[in-house]
Amino acid sequence: MNFEKTVKQSLIEKSKEVNPPQKLKQKVLNKIEMNSGLNKIKKRIVAGLIVIFLIIPTSAIAYQAYLADELYGSFENVKNHFASATIDSYMLLNAKLLQVKGELGKEEFQQFKDHLKIITGVKIDYGNQYGNIDFDLLPQDKVEEIKNAMMVVQPYFDRLNGHESSNDMLSAEEYELYIEALMTYEKILVQSGINPSKSFENTDVKPELLDQFLNARGIIKDVDNKIMTIASDSPFPIPNFSINNQNIEVDYVVLTYLGSDIHGNDSNDSEILLELAERLQPIGVTPSAIMEVTFDEQPQTIEFQIMNMQRNIYSKGSLEELQLPTEKGDYLIVLLGEWGDEKASYSFIAKVID
């Protein structure tokens, strides 16, 4: 069985209603030392690059395309500019825009869309194959235009991610420095030829840009720590992870479902799910380590699957038996749980090291 089919069987189902969580991951205390070069800025909706993990029914595609078209013109236009674009990701972007429209008032959404359109327009004109911009190559008036647009839309992104507004949490000077740090971080990715959807180390950054990159990343992380909150009405049970009785930090993604089989096999979203394994920050573990996972609300049933990056299922079973592999390498771990009529999958990457 190939990797696409394996991931489909483990993670997705076709459903009439999707409840995407506002917060896609939670940070818990990490007592396992990891390579700091692999640490990544948290996934967020920022600067028009909306990274989401949603499932939408195939039948929705025909009538949902207009919002994304208002920003990008058409999928064909996006594909011509960004080599990594897929129709799945375009439809998922559109689904997120529909969510945004439902959560913001009419005037707020119009302001959000108008300024987001400025950002996406500049990205189409000047962005690289990943949609990122080297701002050093833009005319100064364009740099100011996109900076001003980012200053308007970033608080909306914060809210939609379930965080406090960075504009409210920071002084005017701090907020401007934060937006400039986001732009600096983005341009250095371009100048260093880095694919932002994959893990990378500090050594992948051009040496002459490293100090500037670390400074920008430090500002972003400081702001992240200020604005990240866990809503009391979180739409999914929060897991706590430990290995060999030590609490650990896990970068995970949640997919939630309503009322149907969590092991469904039919979906057109395999491209997005394949990207899942590349986007998550791995946790470093020792061979045969024992992982324990508890939830703030215990599920009725919970199962796991472990699959390697050679597209094969390594092991599966009940959560009580979750022993990590003995062989070195990266593994995608999927926890499948049921809470009454609600079902969810929690996915993360474990790197088995010596």
User: Is there a shared CATH topology between the 43-227 domain and the 239-352 domain?
Assistant: no
Residue 47 scores a pLDDT above 60: no
More confident residue, 86 or 194: 194
At residue 159, the pLDDT reads 74
φ, ψ for residue 141, nearest 5 deg: -65, -35
Confidence of residue 99 (pLDDT cuts 50, 70, 90): low
CATH architecture, domain defined by 43-227: Orthogonal Bundle (1.10)
Look at 63 and 147; give whichever has higher pLDDT: 147
Q: What percent of the chain has pLDDT over 70?
A: 61
Task: pLDDT band for 81, please (50, 70, 90 cuts).
Answer: low
The full set of domain ranges for the chain reads 43-227, 239-352
How confident is the model over 202-206, as a mean pLDDT?
A: 91
* pLDDT for 67: 60
Task: State how far the Cα of 229 lies from the Cα of 223, in Å rounded to an integer.
Answer: 12
Determine if residue 195 is left, alpha or beta; phi over 0 gives left, psi from -120 to 50 gives alpha, anything else beta: beta
Q: Which of 89-98, 224-233, 338-347 shows the highest mean pLDDT?
A: 338-347
Higher pLDDT, 114 or 63: 114
Q: Whole-number mean pLDDT of the chain?
A: 70
**pLDDT higher than 80, residue 57:** no
**What average pLDDT does the segment 53-79 reach?**
47
- Cβ neighbours around 5 below 10 Å, total: 12
**SS3 of the chain:** CCHHHHHHHHHCCCCCCCCCCCCCCCCCCCCCCCCHHHCCCCCCCECCECCCCCCCCHHHHHHHCHHHHHHHCCHHHHHHHCCCCCHHHHHHHHHHHHHHHHHCCHHHHHHHHHHHHHHHHHHHHHCCCCCCCCHHHCCHHHHHHHHHHHHHHHHHHHHHCCCCCHHHHCCHHHHHHHHHHHHHHHHHHHHCCCCCCCCCCHHHCCHHHHHHHHHHHHHHHHHHHHHCCCCCCCCCCCEEEEECCEECCCCCEEEEEECCCCCCCCCCCHHHHHHHHHHCCCEEECCCCEEEEEECCCCCEEEEEEEECCCCEEEEEEHHHCECCCCCEEEEEEEEEEECCEEEEEEEEEEECC
Whole-prediction pTM: 0.52
Q: Alpha carbon 22 to chain centroid distance?
A: 11
| Most confident option among 13-27, 83-97, 261-275 | 83-97
Per-residue confidence (pLDDT) for residue 14, from 0 to 100 = 35
For 138, 176, 195, 321, the CA distances from 293, given in Å and listed in that order, are 48, 40, 32, 11
Q: What is the pLDDT of residue 91?
A: 64
- Which residue did the predictor score with more confidence, 254 or 48? 254
Candidate CATH numbers 2.60.40, 1.10.3470, 1.10.10, 1.20.1070; the one for domain 239-352: 2.60.40
Q: What are 128-185's pLDDT values in tens digits?
A: 887 789 999 999 999 999 999 999 988 887 776 667 888 888 999 999 999 999 999 9
Asked if residue 1 has pLDDT above 50, the reply is: no
pLDDT value of residue 13: 39
Q: Which pLDDT does position 93 carry in this prediction?
A: 65
Which of 7-21, 152-166, 212-226 is predicted most confidently? Answer: 212-226
- Whole-number Å distance between alpha carbons of 185 and 42: 13
Residue 209 pLDDT exceeds 90? yes
219-232 burial by CB neighbour count: b if 16+ within 10 A, else e? bbeebbeebbeeee
Residues in CB range of 232: below 8 A, 6 or more apart: none
| Least confident range of 1-5, 70-74, 241-245, 347-351 | 1-5
pLDDT (mean) for 277-295: 81
